[in-house]
Amino acid sequence: MTDPTPGLIDIGVNLSHDSFADDRHAVIEHARRAGVIQMIITGASAAGSRQALALAHAGPQQLFATAGVHPHHATELNADVLGELESLAREPQVVAVGECGLDYFRDFSPRDVQRRAFHQQLELAARVGKPVFLHEREAHDDFAAIVREHRATLVGAVAHCFTGNRQQLDHYLQLDLAIGITGWICDERRGGHLLELVREIPAAALHLETDAPYLLPRDLAPRPASRRNEPRYLPHIAAVVARARGQTLEQLAASASAASRRLFRLPAPPALSP
């Protein structure tokens, strides 16, 4: 392995996923040795948010969590769940509300229910004074309209796993959203347009994430035997983004990690040991 990239932060990793059940500690250690020194574990349901927080408690200064209900699970967001999310969101290790937003691609929850759940979680984020971790797929117009309605009350927001076009990127930047880039940019079939678009993202708004175990970078060589993505592959994603932006990997790592530390108010990472 090449020398680790200094100081990368993975702002979106589904570390509570069942695929990590047997080797979660090793996955975290492999990431650390690759230079991924802090990770934010995504909460996508009440149960998943509890799990994310429990994992974050086990890795102080290294692991953090979000608390929210993904649009796929929007029908689960009743008054009791919303109250539990608020309690979780007030925990110091929880650095954002979400994953929340709209998904009209899968439509696993009715669209009106998705919109209501989205409004409720943006209101929650405003109450607790933490940024939001946002999901949008095939729902740009409704998503942007709802974010615009709440934007003045939010301390910050990141459009997680951005895969959209230039017009959508412009809309998000006009709303002062941060932009999360995943291994989608490494997929020549679907993500090639991002190689140009990442040049348009201001350094202060650009964040890096794997969305592991999903979105294994398609151009990894040699190809891993497993289809499972891991946070240790974040340096590969960072290298692709850096080349597209005409930066060195070190420059990109420094700016992206600084942006993530500001948005999520992360403490200094623990000292790296050999």
Local mean pLDDT, 10-residue blocks, the chain (274 residues): 70 97 96 96 97 96 97 97 98 98 95 98 98 97 98 98 97 98 96 97 98 97 93 98 97 97 92 60
Q: What is the pLDDT of residue 1?
A: 41
Nearest to 133 by CA among 42, 252, 218: 42
Q: Which domains can be identified in the chain, with CATH numbers?
A: 8-264 (3.20.20.140)
Look up residue 222 and give its two tokens.
């040699």
User: pLDDT tens for residues 137-146?
Assistant: 999 999 999 9
Q: CA 63 to CA 274: how far, in whole Å?
A: 19
Sheet of strand 132-137, all strands in order from the earlier edge strand to the far edge: 8-13, 36-41, 63-67, 94-103, 132-137, 157-159, 178-181, 206-208
Q: What is the pLDDT of residue 274?
A: 53
Decide if 124 contacts 82 (C-beta within 8 A).
Answer: yes
Q: Is the peptide bond before 270 cis (omega within 30 degrees of 0)?
A: no
Q: What is the pLDDT of residue 169?
A: 98
